[in-house]
Structures are given as structure tokens and as C-alpha cells.
């Protein structure tokens, strides 16, 4: 990535927009969706900006810009419509240490404005590093269709109840709760306008710790197939995103690990000094110990998990410790090449969409 995506906290922070015409107006509309304090620097304002100023929604300075105008800002947009003036304003803003976006001049941008799907507090930002804005808009359209209009309200409701859930439920149960909330009858009820029913269902689930069919599986043995990220199945991705602890082989592609939950702990089960695999008894002990601590555990390897001897020994150890487990087979490159049809994998589906 040339640009790292990150959400900036805007509450009560200054945003300066240089320019008084349509381009500046577009940035102003965008920033008005936030809680930022907006100041427009321009000799004159178009009708829309003037109305925003007169109604107290923005501040306006018509005097020549100075370095002080750009100090202590969260973000600066420069949109004067004149390339030479934009460059001069960019230099002045940078001298004050500001983070700057210059409209239609990507080489002068510290920050790039993404396409946004707004279901506040759920916000999806889509960027192509300036290479394909049409593609970004197409993805935005797809996301607008996928995310129901009321989804943000449901997320806000969940946010208000998180503290109560944290007091009454263990970490694993909390993840099960929110998975149930956003993937089942609660979300469906909220989407059709039954907000009170949805709230009642969540509160009852927190009080009783009863919600949906809880997944009792503690250990998942995932086969990464031939090790290529485009041969990982959707089920494998789902299990990786649920995992608290991942034990993986050194030959697993880093792109596969990138599919896991970001805060999952990752442990390579190999002795790097001698490049020898840790014994299966040791691996089995690690899996059992982590599972007995209440963690969701994944063992990720690049071999045929379904029928090899190593997997059989792990299964035997899990059964002996009464640990619920699941085996997720992978997609083999040979099968992909020789069969007329194989199920689409997670990354293939993502690329197609």
C-alpha cells in the first residue's frame, strides 16, 4: 500500500478549506458530515458557502491566508481552482505542519479523499490511491446495496450495550453475542424497523447468556491447500477471523495470515534455528492448553489435513482432552487444474466482486 487507510478523530478539531467555489463546496459538504470546526479561507463565497456561513455552520476569513491559519489543524483542503495558487497555499500550509489535500493534484496530497459509504457510526472508505476513481464509485454502489440504511443505528445500539455485555459475559461469549446480533434475527428485526424488538432481544441475550446456536468448537485444523492464498476456502477465512490463537507452519503464505482477525495471536510452530518442525506431541499440547483456557484455536498448515498421520495424532489428543474440534480441508492445485469445477475460494469471490 502506498497509502495507509486510517480514520481521523474530527470532533472539535479544525479543518481549513481554501477556496470559495464549487470544489471547496464539495469538500465542505463532506466535512459537514463530521463534528469538525470548519473554516473557509477565500476572498468571496459562492451562494451555498455563504448560506452555510450565515447559518453558523462554518467560519469564514476573507483576509489573505497566513501560516497561522493552518496551525493546529486536523486537515487542510486546498481547492482554489488555480494551480499556481494551490501550490503556494500548499507550501504555506506545510510550513505550519498541516496534513494537506490539494484537489486534483495527487503529488501534493498527504491525504486522499476516499469514496465513502456512510452508515454512521459504520463508515466504509474505499480508495484506489487515485488510480481508478470510477472503480471506487462502482464498489461504493455495491456496498450501498449490501449495507441496509438502518445498520448504523444498530451499531450504535450495540455500542451503548457493550459495557453491560462486558460486565456479564466472557470474551468468547461476547464475540458470539455480537456475531449473533449482526448475523441473525436481531439485525433482520432492526432492518425492518422493529428497533425496540431488536433492543429487547439483545438485552435479554446479555442477561441470560442465551443467543442462537453457540459454536462449541475450540480447535480448528485448517488445510491451506498448496499454500497459495487464492486456494483458501470461505470457511477457512471465517474460522481464521474467529480465532484467538493461530499456530501455523513456516510455509504458510503471509497473505493467508492477513485474512485472520488482526488481534489474534500468531505462533510459528517451527524451530527456526534448525528449520525442523516441532513434534506433533508438542503441537497437540499447545492446542489443548490454549483451548482449555477458553480460546478459539486454529492450527494452519499446508498439507492434506483430512487424512495425514500428523492430523490423526492431533485429533487423538483433542479427543482425549474432550476438546471439540473441526477439520477444514483445503483446495489442491492439482484438483483445480484437473477438475471441471471446484468451489470458488474466498479470494476468488472477492476479486470477482
Q: Which of 114, 195, 180, 211 is nearest to 149 (CA)?
A: 195
DSSP string, 235-248: HHHHHHHH-SEEEE
pLDDT for 334 beyond 80: no
Per the model's pLDDT, the better-predicted residue between 231 and 291 turns out to be 291
Mean pLDDT, rounded, of the chain: 88
Total domain count, the chain: 3
**Mean local confidence (pLDDT), 168-173:** 89
Per the model's pLDDT, the better-predicted residue between 238 and 73 turns out to be 73
Range of the domain at 298: 219-333+344-348
The predicted structure's pLDDT at residue 249? 85
In a domain, 325, yes or no: yes
The predicted structure's pLDDT at residue 251? 81
In a domain, 318, yes or no: yes
Q: What angle do CA 125, 126, 128 make, to 5 degrees?
A: 145
139-158 pLDDT, tens digit per residue, is: 999 999 999 999 999 999 99
pLDDT for 346 beyond 60: no
Same domain, 47 and 69: yes
Query: Rounded to whole angstroms, how far apart are CA atoms 133 and 114?
Result: 9
Q: Give me the residues paired with residue 16 across strands.
A: 39, 76
Residue whose cell numbers read 468571496: 44
Q: At what angle do helices 309-320 and 280-292 cross, to 10 degrees?
A: 40
What secondary structure letter does DSSP report for 324?
-
Sheet holding 37-41, edge to edge: 59-61, 37-41, 14-18, 75-78, 100-102
Same domain, 191 and 254: no
The predicted structure's pLDDT at residue 307? 52
In a domain, 263, yes or no: yes
Of the chain, the percentage scoring pLDDT greater than 90 comes to: 67
Amino acid at each position: 500500500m502506498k497509502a495507509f487507510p486510517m480514520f481521523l478523530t474530527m470532533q472539535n478539531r479544525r479543518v481549513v478549506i481554501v477556496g470559495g467555489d464549487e470544489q471547496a463546496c464539495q469538500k465542505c459538504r463532506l466535512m459537514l458530515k463530521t463534528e469538525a470546526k470548519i473554516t473557509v479561507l477565500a476572498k468571496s463565497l459562492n451562494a451555498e458557502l455563504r448560506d452555510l456561513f450565515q447559518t453558523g455552520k462554518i467560519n469564514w476569513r476573507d483576509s489573505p491566508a497566513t501560516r497561522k491559519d493552518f496551525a493546529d489543524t486536523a486537515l487542510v483542503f486546498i481547492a482554489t481552482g488555480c494551480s499556481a495558487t494551490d501550490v503556494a497555499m500548499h507550501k504555506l500550509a506545510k510550513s505550519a505542519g498541516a496534513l494537506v489535500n490539494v484537489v486534483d493534484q495527487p503529488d501534493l496530497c498527504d491525504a486522499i479523499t476516499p469514496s465513502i459509504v456512510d452508515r454512521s457510526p459504520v463508515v466504509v472508505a474505499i480508495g484506489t490511491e487515485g488510480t481508478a476513481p470510477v472503480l471506487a464509485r462502482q464498489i461504493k454502489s455495491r456496498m450501498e446495496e449490501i449495507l441496509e440504511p438502518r445498520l448504523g443505528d444498530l451499531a450504535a445500539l450495540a455500542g451503548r450495550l457493550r459495557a453491560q455485555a462486558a460486565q456479564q459475559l466472557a470474551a468468547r461469549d461476547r464475540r458470539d453475542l455480537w456475531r449473533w446480533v449482526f448475523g441473525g434475527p436481531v439485525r433482520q428485526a432492526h432492518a425492518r424497523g422493529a428497533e425496540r424488538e431488536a433492543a429487547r432481544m439483545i438485552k435479554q441475550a446479555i442477561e441470560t447468556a442465551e443467543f442462537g446456536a453457540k459454536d462449541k468448537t475450540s480447535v480448528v485444523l485448517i488445510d491451506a491447500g498448496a499454500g497459495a492464498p487464492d486456494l483458501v476456502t470461505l470457511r477457512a477465512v471465517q474460522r481464521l477471523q474467529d480465532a484467538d490463537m493461530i499456530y501455523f507452519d513456516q510455509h504458510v503464505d503471509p497473505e493467508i495470515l492477513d485474512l485472520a482477525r488482526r488481534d489474534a495471536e500468531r505462533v510459528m510452530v517451527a524451530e527456526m534455528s534448525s528449520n525442523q518442525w516441532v513434534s506433533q506431541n508438542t503441537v497437540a499440547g499447545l492446542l489443548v492448553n490454549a483451548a482449555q483456557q477458553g480460546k478459539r484455536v486454529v492450527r494452519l498448515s499446508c498439507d492434506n489435513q483430512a487424512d495425514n498421520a500428523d492430523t490423526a495424532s492431533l485429533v487423538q489428543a483433542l479427543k482425549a482432552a474432550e476438546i471439540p474440534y473441526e477439520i477444514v480441508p483445503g483446495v489442491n492445485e492439482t484438483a483445480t487444474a484437473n477438475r471441471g469445477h471446484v468451489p470458488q475460494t474466498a479470494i476468488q469471490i472477492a476479486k470477482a466482486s
